[in-house]
Amino acid sequence: MKMIVGGAFQGKTRIAEKIFSLRADDIINGAVCSIEECYSAVCIKNYHELIRRIMNNNIDPVEFTQKLCSENPEAVIIMDEIGCGIIPIEKNERIYRELTGRSGCIIAENSDLVIRVCCGIMTVIKGEINEDKIYSSRKNIGES
């Protein structure tokens, strides 16, 4: 897997498009996509929004994330970092933060490349960018 993280509105999707040569229709949006689409998607953006949605549907996001890692191991996952703040007063918000953190740790663990984006600037925080990793997502599409 590949993972792109960072705060909201930092330019994560743009970096993903550039690094992995993604077309707009390669990217599904976690805020609106179906769960089934995730298992074959080249790239899922707003994964933190997907976590909120499936949590609201009483699906365990940690279990879902583990399944996603085994069924779609070449996916590019884009998600916000959401944990850097005061512990929320609302219990559901606390649960959301906890489950997002744990799911993110699982994706990072299963990723050979993790990029963090801040102000449009990327830093590779796990693995390294090489041609194979960059193009493997596209190759998958060619094969299917």
Partner 1 sequence: MMTLITGGSKSGKSRYAEKIPDTFTGKKIYIATMRPYGDEAADAIIRHRKMRSGKGFETVEQYTDIHRISLPADCSILLECMGNLCANEMFTDGAVCDPTEKIITGVIHLKKIASELIIVTNETGSDGISYESGTQKYISVLGEINRQLAAIADNVIECVYGIPVALKGEVLC
Closer residue to partner 1 (CB): 102 or 139: 102
Nearest of 5, 1, 19 to residue 47 by alpha carbon: 5
Could you tell me which residues come within 8 angstroms of residue 100 by beta carbon, excluding any fewer than 6 positions away?
Answer: 48, 51, 52, 61, 79, 82, 83
Q: Least distance (Å) from partner 1 to the CB of residue 143?
A: 29
Closer residue to partner 1 (CB): 14 or 94: 94
Contact indicator for 13, 86 with CB cutoff of 8 Å: no
Q: Least distance (Å) from partner 1 to the CB of residue 20?
A: 19
Closer residue to partner 1 (CB): 67 or 94: 94
Q: Least distance (Å) from partner 1 to the CB of residue 64?
A: 16
Note the maximum CA span of the chain: 48
Q: Least distance (Å) from partner 1 to the CB of residue 69?
A: 13
Provide the pairing of β-strand 113-118 with 43-45: unpaired
Q: What distance, in Å, lies between the first and last C-alpha atoms of the chain?
A: 18
Contact residues toward partner 1 (CB under 8 A) are 3, 5, 7, 81-87, 94, 97-98, 100-102, 104-105, 107-109, 114, 116, 123, 125-126
Closer residue to partner 1 (CB): 59 or 105: 105
